[in-house]
């Protein structure tokens, strides 16, 4: 029995620090995603091949991937159309998620400009003015609030179709924008592309698979250079543009004798106020009265990334750590906003004293305590939640607490601005290092955790392989957290890098992997790529750069991969998207797109082989540039 459990633990996770907790879940029958994955086997091949269409009531239909069975749905759609339709649907859901998050930041930003929020201010007024000037708003003689109001109005207009243009697309090099114009995929409005997608996937609208896929790229671009970029930039103005900062990561960030509050989800707008509230002396006193040494805030998933980037708040882990964090028995309250939150969390919390606190009207979870967040009353809500956590702490059974490890050090806060600062105010040192071949190129490694592959194996091994090949990594989301947990986000990790990259990192005292933030902060990767390409007067596709998503699971990750590709990054995804039911769609995405956006997708589950593909691509781009 014990060997069977040990075998399972080893097969489930690559992160030694969480094995004890994983073992506990198995010993104590605490159900996790890995158990549910097992229970779900076998998973339907029609769905995995993308040839199942469940969109209308003439169906559901599925195409026989072999000969003999039905080759068209009732409506007449063939495998290619059904696969393309499903993919467009997924990419649109991802774009909508990021962009709706962006909208909420924008609403809070606009509310703050209008004096209608509580606990917010504009922390980075320099960026406020910079963004204003960038999008053509006069700043002279205007107060910060007036400028913010104008910015808010201008971006609000981008969600609909008043402008038919997204200002931040001007950050892309002209050559890249020209590619979009020629392909007819220049995004026109954040909401517009999403709504249009939903129209196109309806029966009897889009029937040409290639045309559907082109629109999925346009929708993805409206996220990357629209919704997500607005979320990143306005969050920076409200909460501060990240600067390089030290922090810690893994389940060991939870503390035995503290009130542990885990902030899980994606949006920083409530969690940032919780950080403020948790510093309130009255609440700190209350925690002491309850017998705790203090209040310990830790992040998880992308809310965690947002908080670590800007405030250095430690992180308990990435997406697949959400249940393991609860299984330590040390979490008093897990505050959730939205996205990537397992609906089953309250069931797991019930094994202990822990409480799940939902905060978004959009993301209610049965079994959670609901404390709805509104910008106008944010601070009061945050205070209430911290009080609830303190009360819950009193119910904690210390005997049930098992924190499996000591926290790992990591360095975070690499916004585009911080990277530029670290380089001495210009990209020249980085470009020189690339030209000299000390750094061969840059890979943006992003995306989720997926229980189908050993937890963190893909991220960590891809990162290690690329480092050895003198390729600089910029990481966001669960990828960055995986590298952080593995101890790769510290300057000392440069020892594992190739000689060239090691030299550059050591001279700047920088880690070989730069943590650039949450998944919406993949927009920072776009901004960085745009600035580097502009400095070299090339399109993004000409850069010795690429993208990767080794352990992706989410529709949002597909969207990111799509805007990476549409922006010119060759992108390798680790798990096969649900596309292989159509040879035509697969060929277009992994080959034909090269002729449209000068970049394409590849699928490679093995991180070592993926690293080789990425290196090959980077070397070919170097050759084309003559460096």
Partner 1 sequence: MKVVFADVGRCVGCRHCEMACAVEHSSAKDLYSMLKDEPMSQPRIKVGLGVDLLTFPNKCQHCDPAPCEEACPTNAIYRDSEFNSTQVEAEKCISCGMCAMVCPYDAITYQPTKEHGNNKAYKCDQCPERLTEGKNPACVEACVTGALVYAEINQIIKVRQTEIFKNITSQVIGKGTYKEAPENIKSYNKLQEKVAKLGPLPSSEKKEGFSV
Contacts to partner 1 by CB under 8 A: 4, 7-8, 11-12, 34, 37-38, 41-49, 62, 64-66, 68-70, 451-454, 457-458, 575-576, 580-583, 586, 603-606
**Rounded to the nearest whole angstrom, what is the least distance from the CB of residue 607 to partner 1 in the complex?**
8
Q: Which is nearer to partner 1, 37 or 183 (CB)?
A: 37
| Distance of closest approach, residue 410 Cβ to partner 1, in angstroms | 25
Could you give the C-alpha distances from 434 to 344, 444, 461, 564, in angstroms and in order?
Answer: 47, 16, 23, 21
Query: At closest approach, how far in Å is the CB of 513 from partner 1?
Result: 21
Nearer to partner 1, 274 or 448 (CB): 448
Rounded to whole angstroms, how far apart are CA atoms 232 and 502? Answer: 30
CA nearest neighbour of 477 among 454, 456, 502, 451? 456
* Helices and strands (H and E) in the chain: how many: 27, 16
Compare residues 2 and 66 and give the one whose CB is closer to partner 1. 66
C-beta closer to partner 1: residue 80 or 515:
80
In DSSP notation, 33-44 reads HHHHHHHTPSPP
Minimum separation from the CB atom of position 200 to partner 1 (A): 24
Residue 453 Cβ, how far from partner 1 at the closest point, in Å?
4
Nearest to 593 by CA among 618, 613, 623, 570: 570
* Nearer residue to partner 1 within complex by CB, 317 or 544: 317
Handedness of CA 425, 247, 381, 32 (dihedral sign): positive
Pull the structure tokens for residue 224.
């990357």
CB-wise, 20 or 377, nearer to partner 1? Answer: 20
Q: Which residues are CB-contacts of 6 (< 8 A; sequence separation ≥ 6)? A: 23
**Helix 281-289 crosses helix 378-394 at what angle (to 10 degrees)?**
10
C-beta of 556: minimal distance to partner 1 in Å? 20
CA separation, residue 391 to residues 269, 354, 359, 551, 622 (Å):
24, 11, 18, 38, 59
- Give me the residues paired with residue 538 across strands: none
Tokens 């980085």 sit at which residue? 430
Residue number with CB closer to partner 1 (34 or 393): 34
**Nearest-approach distance from CB 38 to partner 1, in angstroms:** 6
Pick between residue 38 and residue 208 the one whose CB is nearest to partner 1: 38
Place of tokens 């049965």: 366
297 phi-psi bin (left φ>0, alpha ψ -120 to 50, beta other): beta
- In the bound complex, what is the minimum distance in angstroms from residue 35's beta carbon to partner 1? 10
């Amino acid at each position: 029995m014990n060997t069977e459990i040990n075998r399972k633990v080893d097969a489930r996770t690559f992160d030694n620090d969480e094995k004890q907790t994983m073992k506990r879940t198995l010993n104590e029958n605490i159900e996790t995603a890995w158990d549910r994955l097992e229970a779900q086997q076998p998973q339907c091949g029609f769905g995995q091949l993308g040839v199942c269409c469940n969109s209308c009531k003439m169906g559901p239909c599925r195409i026989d991937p072999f000969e003999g069975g039905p080759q068209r749905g009732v409506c007449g759609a063939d495998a290619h159309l059904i696969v393309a339709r499903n993919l467009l649907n997924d990419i649109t859901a991802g774009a909508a998620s990021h962009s709706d998050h962006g909208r909420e930041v924008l609403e809070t930003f606009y509310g703050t400009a209008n004096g209608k929020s509580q606990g917010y201010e504009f922390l980075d007024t320099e960026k406020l003015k910079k963004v204003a000037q960038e999008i053509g708003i006069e700043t002279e003689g205007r107060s910060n609030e007036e400028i913010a109001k104008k910015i808010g109005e201008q971006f609000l207009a981008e969600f609909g179709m008043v402008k038919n243009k997204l200002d931040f697309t001007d950050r892309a090099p002209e050559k890249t924008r020209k590619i979009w114009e020629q392909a007819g995929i220049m995004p026109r409005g954040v909401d517009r592309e999403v709504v249009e997608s939903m129209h196109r996937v309806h029966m009897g609208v889009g029937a040409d698979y290639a045309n559907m896929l082109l629109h999925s790229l346009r929708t993805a671009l409206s996220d990357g250079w629209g919704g997500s970029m607005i979320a990143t930039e306005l969050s920076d103005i409200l909460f501060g543009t990240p600067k390089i900062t030290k922090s810690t990561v893994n389940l060991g960030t939870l503390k035995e004798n503290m009130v542990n509050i885990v902030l899980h989800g994606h949006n920083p707008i409530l969690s940032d106020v919780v950080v403020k509230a948790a510093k309130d002396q009255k609440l700190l006193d209350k925690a002491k009265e309850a017998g705790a040494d203090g209040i310990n805030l830790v992040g998880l998933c992308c809310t965690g990334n947002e908080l670590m980037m800007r405030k250095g708040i430690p992180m308990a882990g990435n997406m697949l750590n959400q249940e393991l964090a609860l299984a330590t028995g040390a979490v008093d309250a897990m505050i959730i906003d939205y996205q990537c939150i397992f609906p089953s969390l309250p069931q797991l919390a019930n094994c202990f004293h822990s409480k799940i606190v939902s905060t978004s009207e959009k993301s209610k979870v049965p079994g959670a305590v609901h404390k709805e967040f509104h910008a106008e009353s944010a601070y009061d809500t945050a205070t209430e939640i911290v009080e609830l956590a303190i009360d819950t702490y009193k119910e904690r059974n210390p005997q049930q607490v098992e924190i499996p490890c000591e926290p790992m050090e990591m360095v975070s806060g690499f916004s585009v601005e911080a990277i530029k600062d670290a380089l001495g105010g210009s990209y020249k040192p980085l470009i020189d290092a690339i030209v000299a071949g000390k750094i061969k190129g840059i890979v943006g490694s992003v995306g989720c955790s997926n229980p189908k592959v050993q937890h963190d194996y893909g991220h960590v091994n891809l990162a290690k392989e690329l480092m050895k090949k003198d390729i600089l990594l910029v990481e966001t989301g669960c990828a960055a957290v995986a590298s952080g947990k593995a101890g790769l986000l510290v300057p000392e990790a440069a020892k594992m890098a190739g000689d060239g990259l090691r030299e550059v990192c050591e001279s700047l005292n920088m880690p070989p992997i730069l943590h650039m933030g949450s998944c919406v902060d993949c927009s920072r990767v776009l901004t960085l790529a745009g600035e580097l390409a502009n400095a070299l007067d090339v399109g993004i596709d000409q850069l010795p750069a690429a993208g990767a998503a080794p352990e992706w699971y989410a529709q949002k990750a597909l969207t990111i991969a799509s805007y990476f590709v549409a922006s010119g990054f060759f992108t390798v995804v680790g798990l096969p998207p649900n596309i292989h039911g159509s040879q035509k769609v697969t060929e277009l995405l992994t080959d034909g797109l090269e002729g449209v956006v000068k970049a394409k997708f590849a699928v490679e589950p093995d991180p070592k082989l993926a690293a080789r593909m990425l290196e090959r691509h980077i070397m070919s781009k170097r050759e084309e540039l003559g460096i």
